Amino acid sequence: MLSIMVPLYFTLIAFMPTSRSKEFITGAKATIPMIIGAIPFGIIFGTLAESSGLSMWGAMAMSLFVYAGSSQFIALGLLATGVSPIIIIGTTFVVNLRHLLYATALVDKVKHLSQGWRFLLAFGLTDESFAVVNTRYSDGTDNSRAHWFFLGSIIAMYSNWQLCTWLGIGLGELFPDMTHWGLDFAMSVTFLGIVIPYLRTKPMWLAVISAAIFAMALRELPHQLGLVIAAVFGICIGYASQQIGLRLKPPTPPSPSNKGAAHNE
C-alpha cells in the first residue's frame, strides 16, 4: 500500500504549479500532529475488526469509504453486540451530525469552488482536517488557494488512515491481546490537544465544561444521542453567556461630539 501512495504523492505534487503545491504541502505538514494521534487509533481499529465480527475486507472498506474514525469505532462496538445494520447506519448518522456543523462553518470558504472540489473536500471533512483547515482560513493570509491546503490535509490524513487500518488488521492477527493496550487513548489526547487553544474566553470554558458534563450525564441514552444533545447544550450555553457578557459591559461613555451637540441644544 505504501508503495502505491508515495509515488502518488509525488506525481500529484509534480503536476501542480508551485503556489498550489506549496499550499498542498503546507496543508499536509500542518496535519502531521493529527496523523501521529491517528496512527495508534487507526491500528487499533484494524485489530478490533475481526473480534467484533467485521471481516478484513469490511474493515478496509469502512476506512476507505466511510472514513470517519469515531463512528467506525462505534459501529464495531454495536456490531459486537449484534444489532442490525439499520441501527448502525442510524447511529453513524447521529454521531456524524457534527460534520454538518463543521461544513456550515466552512461553507463561505468553498462557495467559489466547483462542485467537484466541494465533493472532494466534503468527503475528507474529518475532525482533524477541520481543525487544521479552520485555523488556516482564519489566519488572515490570502485564502484564494487555501483549498489546496485543505486537499493536502485530506490526502495526508486519508492515506495514513488507510495504511494504519491495513497495519492494524495484520497486527491483530499477530497480537490478539493488543485490543487491551488502551491505544484508544490516542484519539482522546488528540482531541484534547485540539480543544486547548480554543480555551481563551470565559464563554468558551463554560461551553466546553457544560458539554462535557452533559455528555457524561446523558451517556446512557441510545445511539449516542447524548453526544448530540450535550453538544447543542454546550453551544447554547457558550453563546448565551457570550451575549450576557456583552450586555453586562459598562456602557461606552458618550463621545465629545455628542456632548457638544447636547450642550448646543
Partner 1 sequence: MNEAIMIAGMALVTFSVRYVMFAMAGRIVFPVWFKHALAYVPPVVLSAIIAPLILMPKGYLDISLANPYFWAALVAAIVGFWRQHLLTTIIVGMIAFILLKWITS
Min dist. Cβ of residue 227 to partner 1 (A): 5
Number of chain positions touching partner 1 (CB under 8 A): 91
Min dist. Cβ of residue 65 to partner 1 (A): 4
> Please, are residues 31 and 157 in contact by the beta-carbon 8 Å criterion?
yes
> Please, are residues 98 and 71 in contact by the beta-carbon 8 Å criterion?
no
Cβ of 181: how many Cβ atoms within 10 Å?
13
The smaller minimum CB distance to partner 1, of residues 21 and 26, is found at: 26
Binding residue (CB under 8 A) for partner 1 from 239, 245, 254, 258:
239
Q: In angstroms, rounded to a whole number, what is the distance separating the alpha carbons of residues 219 and 225?
A: 8
143 touching partner 1, by CB under 8 A: no
178 touching partner 1, by CB under 8 A: no
Q: Sign of dihedral through CA atoms 38, 41, 44, 50? A: negative
Binding residue (CB under 8 A) for partner 1 from 7, 80, 198, 259:
198
Binding residue (CB under 8 A) for partner 1 from 27, 152, 215, 223:
215
Residues 43-72 that bind partner 1 (CB under 8 A): 54-55, 58, 61-62, 65-68, 70-71
Coil vs helix vs strand at 92: helix
Binding residue (CB under 8 A) for partner 1 from 125, 151, 164, 169:
125
Binding residue (CB under 8 A) for partner 1 from 213, 221, 244, 261:
213
The region of 146-154, 164-172, 237-245, 253-261 touching partner 1 under the rule CB under 8 A is 237-245
Min dist. Cβ of residue 213 to partner 1 (A): 8
The region of 4-12, 13-21, 82-90, 169-177 touching partner 1 under the rule CB under 8 A is 82-90
Q: In angstroms, rounded to a whole number, what is the distance separating the alpha carbons of residues 73 and 186?
A: 13
Residues in the chain: 265
Q: In angstroms, rounded to a whole number, what is the distance separating the alpha carbons of residues 227 and 234?
A: 10
HEC profile for 132-168? HHHHHHCCCCCCCCHHHHHHHHHHHHHHHHHHHHHHH
- The gap from C-alpha 249 to its chain's centroid, in whole angstroms, comes to 34
The smaller minimum CB distance to partner 1, of residues 18 and 81, is found at: 81
Binding residue (CB under 8 A) for partner 1 from 11, 18, 115, 252:
115
Q: In angstroms, rounded to a whole number, what is the distance separating the alpha carbons of residues 249 and 15?
A: 54
What's the chain's Rg over C-alpha atoms? Answer: 23
Pattern 94-113, binding to partner 1, x per CB under 8 A?
Answer: --xxxxxxxxxxxxx-xxxx
157 touching partner 1, by CB under 8 A: no
